[in-house]
Structure 1
Amino acid sequence: MKTTLTVFLKEVKENLRDRRTITSALLYGPLIGPVIFVLIMNTVLTRELNKADQPIKVPVIGAEYAPNMIAALKQQGLLPQPAIADPEEAVRNQGAEVVLRIPADFGTSWRKGEASQVELIYDSSQRDAGSSVERVRHMLDAYIRRQGAMRLVARGLAPTLMAPVTLDERDQSTPQSRAGQMFAILPYFFVLTVFMGGMYLAIDLTAGERERQSLEPLFANPVPRWKVLLGKLAAICAFSLTSLLIGVTGFGICGRLIPAEKLGMVINLGPSFAGQVLLIMLPLVILLASLQTLVAAFAKSYREAQTYLSMLMLVPALPSILLSVMPVKVAEWMYAVPLLGQQVGITQLLRGGQLSAQEIATCVISGLIVALLATLLTARVYSTERLAISA
């Protein structure tokens, strides 16, 4: 163990002097996610909240044909704007989010007691228009229900005839589970933080030393190569784990800066959440360190190793992508699959759920087994003469 400890301390000390490694592992990797996330979420939430509190401006074509309806919509917060010549083109070009068009025969149909039609023109592919369209649709629905009820009363009928079935909705979501949906991408940020924390170190300790022709003299020493490998892996894991700790802390701080409570959500990224995340991510730290070292061992230069590891970076994204496009019910077997188990476990914590001791143990033990296999494979590659030959 003395050899392993010596290699570990040497690599940690040398890489603490390397600005690129420090920037990637301890600054850029762990902090870029929280900073970008809080900026995006604050911008989006602030804009949507401001839009919800302010009257909504909607161009109205034919407002003179339904003055009573326009007056009722004004009371709900609609601010009619002058008519535009080509509403379809205006909506497609984002000149207007939504346009209300009232036909000339609206009044005639209304007086006859017939159904009067209005058109709501919008482009559902425009992301910014969604909330505005929903607000206008809600205003129109409220006006339609009220006028329908008044017509029935005028004819001596009960308004309840319009609704033979009443719907009582019981939403079982909690403020924290709704917040968990908003933070669904957070597990991938944690995996990416671990990856970035050890990537440049793994490249430098394998392909970098091979390119500098310092790996061959190191292997010439009368010590088992697996001890040298363990020292290097321990250094990579130390940087990755530190990066993860900074990232989890960063998200915990940034979570307090997001006005989620205004949307009826609760974000809990406190010490309990951080501790469980660090525990279930620990096997992934070892696994990714071994995989990064293994892939870098096949590169003859620093730049070539960067290319290989950039492609490897796509692998941790697969569970997040699959779960986002193919929502599945959480099953116990998922905790036994590395990457997927971490994704599912962290998502459960974000939704306010609790991970049982069995689920945590399954996630940790299965991850450690796979990490051990990856380490053994890396040690096998390290024992070959091909790796000792510098480029």
Structure 2
Amino acid sequence: MSTLNNPLRRTRAVLTVFLKEVRENLRDRRTLTSAFLTGPLLTPLMFVMLINFTINRELDKAEQPLKVPVIGAEYAPNLVDALKAGGVLPQPAIADPEAAVRNQEVDLALRIRADYPKAWRRGEPVQVELIYDSSQRDASTPVERVTKLIEGYARVQGAMRLVARGLSPATASPVVVAKRDQATAQSRAVLMFNILPYLFVLTLFIGGMYLAIDLTAGERERQSLEPLFANPVPRWKIFLGKLAAICAFSTASLVICLVGFGIVGRFVPAEKLGMELHLGPSFALHVLLLQLPMIVLLGSLQSMVAAFAKSYREAQTYVSLLMMLPILPSVALMVMPIKPQDWMYAVPLLGQHLGILDLVRGTGVSPLHLAWCLGGSALAAIVAAGVTMQLYRSERLAISG
């Protein structure tokens, strides 16, 4: 009976601390707001609103008539007519188009040189100038649109010249590239929704952040850790109880976030871009599985960092700096677009990032990659929890000031 009682007593002590912390923090409005409202609910709403705004704005710019100042329109009336047929509205010439573009008065301007008619009659190549500023994000769509219209006009005129000389238009294209895009509508969604892994990890981080600070630095500042440590309960049990409470709040935060994305994700007009986005129950369960060891790892790291702080405010500063950690994989993959290797799935945060992108792409996470991801992150979580457990054994932790 005594051997059976020991595990039960250990579990009961951890459970007692867990229930105590959960019950107390459910009354804390700040903790509830950060764990269940700020991150999990506002993140999906803000994300969908931003995506909808971006997509609709770009599509409107691609479909609406485009006003472009044309310098020298009288030298190429046929080209101007072709632009009009493509939805471009030529505007009167401006004196200094370069300055107008730099000052963001216009997105782009078209200049047709005075020698255009003479070169055209001789059958020589002619040149037109598109003046734009590539540093302006609004300029990319109009520039691409006008460029395609001019190139299309050039191909038609080139084919007509060959026909006039008794030659086949195919003579000018001895090699034709046939593109066979293997991307599916769902796999293309990665191009636009590759920020989702970062949002999920950020939700986890915020969900447990205030609780981790309060249960360590907050109680230390309120001088309630010392009487808690005076109980005949091993420190590691107290830590595990507190860690379990942090993980519970983080998990609940992620679940709410996944449900939110599953609902509002239906309102993302991905089909307008030829994409498919599936954020249903299967996606949510797989994300939750991938993030399970990360929940423990982040909770342990937050507790560890908060243990070095002497006050709640100081702990907020330290933990806020730790918030930069989840963004590293996203930044690394954007700066260095490398092909994922098997070992990368074993790296905490990076493995979760790659796994979630596989889910968004529709290919799913292979058993090998899942094992690497869970194993690598679980090992890191055990190490972080062990280090934090050692900090809890220090008498200095219970002393404020």
Aligned residues: 391
1:28-81 deviation digits (Å, cap 9, x = unpaired) = 022232122112111110011112222221111111111111112211221111
Which amino acid in 2 is paired with 1:41?
A: I
Partner of 1:151: 161
Partner of 1:364: 374
Counterpart for residue 16 of structure 1? 26
User: How many Å apart are 1:126 and its aligned residue?
Assistant: 0.7
Matched residue SS, 1:256: helix
Contact 2:223–2:398 (CA under 8 A) maintained in structure 1: no
Q: Does 1:29 align with 2:43?
A: no
Equivalent residue, structure 2, for 1:247 = 257
- Is contact 1:21-1:201 (8 Å) kept? yes
Write the distance in 2 (CA, Å) between the matches of 1:112 and 1:356. 62
Q: Is the CA contact (8 Å cut-off) linking 1:273 and 1:349 kept in structure 2?
A: yes
Deviations 1:68-119 (A, max 9, x none): 1111221122111111111111111221111111112211211122222211
Corresponding residue for residue 219 of structure 1: 229
- Number of the residue aligned with 1:202: 212
Normalised by the length of structure 2, the TM-score is 0.96
Q: In structure 2, what is the equivalent of residue 355 of structure 1?
A: 365
Q: Which one of the candidate residues 69, 75, 78 is aligned to 1:68?
A: 78
Alignment of 1:148-297 (within 5 A): 148-297=158-307
Question: Does residue 56 of structure 2 align to residue 56 of structure 1?
Answer: no
CA distance in 1, matches of 2:299, 2:82: 64
- Note if contact 1:187-1:342 (Cα within 8 Å) is conserved in structure 2: yes
Shift of 1:254: 2.2
**Which residue of 297, 302, 305 corresponds with 2:312?**
302
Identity %: 65
Query: What is the identity, as a one-letter code, of the residue corresponding to 2:121?
Result: R
Cα distance in 2 for partners of 1:379, 1:102 equals 73
* 2:294 and 2:377 in contact (8 A); partners too: yes
For residues 260-310 of structure 1, give each alpha carbon's deviation from its aligned partner in whole angstroms, at most 9, with x where no partner exists. 101100011111111000001000000110111111111100000001101
Task: After TM superposition, give the deviation of residue 331 of structure 1 in Å.
Answer: 1.2
Match of 1:376 in 2: 386
CA contact (8 A) 2:163 2:169 kept: yes
Q: Provide the C-alpha distance between the structure 2 equivalents of 1:65 and 1:176, rounded to a whole number of angstroms.
A: 47
- Specify the code of the residue in structure 1 equivalent to 2:40: P
1:253 & 1:179 partners in 2: Cα distance? 17
1:221-271 Cα distance to aligned partner (Å, 9 max, x none):
111111111110000000000001111111222221111101100011111
In structure 2, what is the Cα distance between the partners aligned to 1:94 and 1:39?
26
Q: Distance in 2 between matches of 1:259 and 1:28?
A: 24
1:128 to 111, 116, 138: 138
**Distance across 2 between alignment mates of 1:65 and 1:175:** 44
Q: What value does the CA root-mean-square deviation take over the aligned residues?
A: 1.1
CA deviation profile, 1:307-356 (whole Å, cap 9, x unmatched): 11011111121111101110111111111111111011011111111112
Matched residues in 2 for 1:15 and 1:306: separation? Answer: 17
Give the distance between the partners of 2:72 and 2:380, measured in 1 at CA. Answer: 68
| Match 1:86 to one of 96, 102, 105 | 96
* Other structure's SS at 1:121 match: strand
In the alignment, residue 54 of structure 1 is paired with which amino acid?
Q
Does the residue aligned with 2:267 lie in a helix, a strand or coil? coil
Q: Return 87-96 or 201-210, whichever deviates more.
A: 87-96
> Would you say the 8 A contact 1:215–1:390 is kept in 2?
no
Residue 42 of structure 1: which of 43, 52, 70 is its match? Answer: 52
Give the aligned residue type for 2:61: K
Give me the TM-score of the superposition, normalised by structure 1.
0.98
Partners of 1:130 and 1:221 in 2: how far apart?
A: 66
SS state of the match for residue 134, structure 2? coil
Identify the match of residue 350 of structure 2 among 326, 331, 340.
340
4+ long deviations beyond 3 Å: none
1:25 is aligned with what amino acid?
A: A
Deviates more, 1:238-247 or 1:150-159: 150-159
Conserved in 1, the CA contact under 8 Å of 2:69 and 2:91? yes
Gaps of 5+ in 1: none
Distance 1:171 1:108 in 2: 42
2:18/2:245 contact within 8 Å kept = yes
Q: Which residue of 2 aligns with 1:390?
A: 400
CA offset at residue 357 of structure 1?
Answer: 2.1
Q: Secondary structure at the match of 2:279?
A: coil
Aligned pair 1:112/2:122, yes or no? Answer: yes
Equivalent pair of 2:198/2:353 in contact (CA under 8 Å): yes
Report the alpha carbon displacement of residue 152 of structure 1 after superposing the two structures with TM. 1.1
Contact between 1:181 and 1:351, CA under 8 Å: does it hold in 2?
no
